[in-house]
Amino acid sequence: MIRPLRIRPLDLIARVAPIGVLFMIAPLHTGAQTAMGAASAKSRSSSSSVASVPNTALATALANDMLRIARLPGMGLAALDHGKVVYATGVGYRDVAGKRPVDSSTVFGSASVAKVVTATAALRLVQRGVFDLDEPISRRFPDFPGPATQITPRLLAAHLSGIPHYGPGSMPSDRRHIWASHALGEFSAARRIGEPGERSVYSTHGITLMTAMMEQAVQRPILDILRTEVFEPSEMRSSGGLFVDSIPAALATLYERSGDSWRALAGPRNLSFAWGGAGLRHTPADLVRMTRPYFDGTFTATTLATAFTEQRTRDGGATGLGIVWRVENDWRGRALAHHAGVNPGTRTVVLMRRDEARAVAVMVNLEWTASMDRTANVLAEALFDSAPRRVPAAVRGAWAGRLDSTTVQGQWEFTGDTGWVSVPTVLRERFARSGGVTHDRFPVRAIRDDLYALITPWGLYPMELTRQGAGVLSARVQVASQWWTLAPAQQTP
């Protein structure tokens, strides 16, 4: 039987931590606030001290930190730099009971990261002139219910179609499908959640409809399209459909949380209703290879603009989406494109630094609520922008501030390249209520003199530091989309 699908908000799945609260900590030394703006500008503009080779030891140390703090069974990681895979490794176990470690050959389900693999295939077809992003679906599927003349692949790619995600009338069955067009009956009669173009609401079924349009354009099933347009050209040798009756030996065991440990799931569920939206398998190295066409000249400037130009609702509202890819600038103003995914036993992300020809992928064999895009970008920072010669920080002291309407305070201590920040009781309680892992302290690890990684149960966040010699004047970090600022009550050099 198919495992029941869980309905969860998109922001909880792919973007932020499980609490959306204001966490703003006021420094005890108010004079330090004036220095923080300068620190932020320094961090955003800093391009010096860029590692000449990837700092793989630092990235792996951060991965092991996450394994411990978030209590994950295993994690695979990979990075690409100008077309070459420069990092591919694993930490933890792909099979906990058998003590089999994750390595570079371990395969994971990609969950919703499959959507950007499909987008890459669609862009190849568009560039060749055999697929039209603005063709109404009514031309290919005249009997599709609802305003089919107004729905196009372009709208489907930004979740603007009004087609719902999993829910009443759209919960997939256990039927097996090869063609996406044969799976349209799984959701075609579901009640619409808005008019086409009205608002962007996440929908895997919408991506299935887009893949069905691709199939009709070239008269081949979606897995064959992905093989010829993406897997083979990008040398993604471990990629394919995640078939429930043909499981690769290298596939990581899927786990769910069971108290402070994990329970193995029976195996992947039938995702053939959404091959191109949720039903693929890869190694992390395969996922970063998938990004090559965006950097190596395969895609023209016009195609890249199509991929990364943010779509808007019909009244001009932001979607944050191009052609499936989430597009934004990070805290240093760098252009990113990324997508994350979650399924039972699976958590994934692939992120591109668009102007640097670099990409990072992270894959975990556990359903994990985490800020995956931030985590991947901090790993990219560690790999490509860490400083080989640092002045170790030294700070010990107190901070005070507010969490929502509650006044909070705590301690922190940095010694050399590592340290910790205490977690307010009210925040730990919110972790517990949301089912997350709780800790009294969050570790930190140095990337540069002005940047440390804050390691949390939700993943990695960039903590910017204002320094005077070894001493820390102030620090700030954005957690759960809110800014947390800290300053020491007294410094111990």
Per the listing, tokens 């947390």 go with 484
Indicate the range of 13-17, 183-187, 232-236, 481-485 predicted with least confidence: 13-17
Query: Which one, of 473, 468, 415, 475, lies nearest residue 451 by Cα?
Result: 475
* Spatial distance between the Cα atoms of 148 and 188, rounded to a whole number of angstroms: 11
Query: Do 211 and 191 sit in the same domain of this protein?
Result: yes
Predicted confidence at residue 389, as pLDDT, reads: 78
Task: Name the percent of the chain lying above pLDDT 90.
Answer: 70
Predicted confidence at residue 455, as pLDDT, reads: 96
- The arithmetic mean of pLDDT across residues 349-367, rounded, is 97
Predicted confidence at residue 186, as pLDDT, reads: 93
Query: Do 244 and 352 sit in the same domain of this protein?
Result: yes
Predicted model pTM: 0.88
* Spatial distance between the Cα atoms of 362 and 60, rounded to a whole number of angstroms: 12
Query: Which one, of 118, 70, 151, lies nearest residue 365 by Cα?
Result: 70
* Residue 334 is assigned to a structural domain of this protein: yes
* Spatial distance between the Cα atoms of 110 and 183, rounded to a whole number of angstroms: 20
pLDDT(493) > 70: no
Query: Do 363 and 398 sit in the same domain of this protein?
Result: no
- The arithmetic mean of pLDDT across residues 192-212, rounded, is 96
pLDDT tens digits along 35-58: 333 333 333 333 333 435 899 999
* Residue 469 is assigned to a structural domain of this protein: yes
Query: Phi then psi for 289, rounded to 5 degrees?
Result: -65, -30
pLDDT(410) > 70: yes
pLDDT tens digits along 299-342: 999 999 999 999 999 999 999 999 999 999 999 999 999 999 99
pLDDT tens digits along 65-123: 999 999 999 999 999 999 999 999 999 999 999 999 999 999 999 999 999 999 999 99
* Residue 67 is assigned to a structural domain of this protein: no
Q: What value does the mean pLDDT of the chain take?
A: 87
Task: Report residue 492's pLDDT band, with 50, 70 and 90 as the boundaries.
Answer: very low
* Spatial distance between the Cα atoms of 366 and 377, rounded to a whole number of angstroms: 20
Query: Do 258 and 371 sit in the same domain of this protein?
Result: yes
Query: Do 250 and 368 sit in the same domain of this protein?
Result: yes
Predicted confidence at residue 26, as pLDDT, reads: 34
Tally of domains within the chain: 3
Query: Which one, of 243, 251, 232, lies nearest residue 120 by Cα?
Result: 232
* Residue 405 is assigned to a structural domain of this protein: yes
- The arithmetic mean of pLDDT across residues 345-368, rounded, is 97
Query: Do 241 and 373 sit in the same domain of this protein?
Result: yes
Which of 343, 367, 384 is a domain's end point?
Answer: 384
* Spatial distance between the Cα atoms of 163 and 196, rounded to a whole number of angstroms: 9
pLDDT tens digits along 236-254: 999 999 998 889 999 999 9
* Spatial distance between the Cα atoms of 115 and 276, rounded to a whole number of angstroms: 6
3-state secondary structure of 354: coil
- Cβ neighbours of residue 54 closer than 8 Å, sequence gap 6 or more: 79, 81, 86, 87, 383, 384
CATH, residue 90: 3.40.710.10
3-state secondary structure of 269: coil
Q: Do residues 278 and 111 make contact, with C-beta atoms less than 8 angstroms apart?
A: yes
Q: Do residues 339 and 350 make contact, with C-beta atoms less than 8 angstroms apart?
A: yes
* Spatial distance between the Cα atoms of 373 and 54, rounded to a whole number of angstroms: 19
Query: Do 276 and 129 sit in the same domain of this protein?
Result: no
Query: Do 402 and 420 sit in the same domain of this protein?
Result: yes
* Residue 171 is assigned to a structural domain of this protein: yes
Within the chain, what is the greatest distance between any pair of CA atoms? 73
Query: Do 124 and 107 sit in the same domain of this protein?
Result: no
**What range does the domain containing 448 cover?**
23-49+388-486
Which of 334, 355, 384 is a domain's end point?
Answer: 384
Predicted confidence at residue 87, as pLDDT, reads: 98
Query: Do 142 and 166 sit in the same domain of this protein?
Result: yes
Task: Report residue 6's pLDDT band, with 50, 70 and 90 as the boundaries.
Answer: very low
* Residue 7 is assigned to a structural domain of this protein: no
- Cβ neighbours of residue 297 closer than 8 Å, sequence gap 6 or more: none
Which of 364, 384, 404 is a domain's end point?
Answer: 384
- The arithmetic mean of pLDDT across residues 466-483, rounded, is 82
* Residue 8 is assigned to a structural domain of this protein: no
Predicted confidence at residue 400, as pLDDT, reads: 67
Task: Report residue 485's pLDDT band, with 50, 70 and 90 as the boundaries.
Answer: confident
Task: Report residue 490's pLDDT band, with 50, 70 and 90 as the boundaries.
Answer: low
Whole-number CA gyration radius for the chain: 23
Predicted confidence at residue 405, as pLDDT, reads: 64
- Cβ neighbours of residue 180 closer than 8 Å, sequence gap 6 or more: 208, 209, 211, 212, 214, 215, 221, 222, 275, 276
* Residue 269 is assigned to a structural domain of this protein: yes
Predicted confidence at residue 403, as pLDDT, reads: 64
Q: Do residues 230 and 138 make contact, with C-beta atoms less than 8 angstroms apart?
A: no
Query: Do 438 and 307 sit in the same domain of this protein?
Result: no
Query: Which one, of 73, 70, 76, lies nearest residue 97 by Cα?
Result: 73
Query: Do 99 and 165 sit in the same domain of this protein?
Result: no
- Count of positions (residues) in the chain: 493
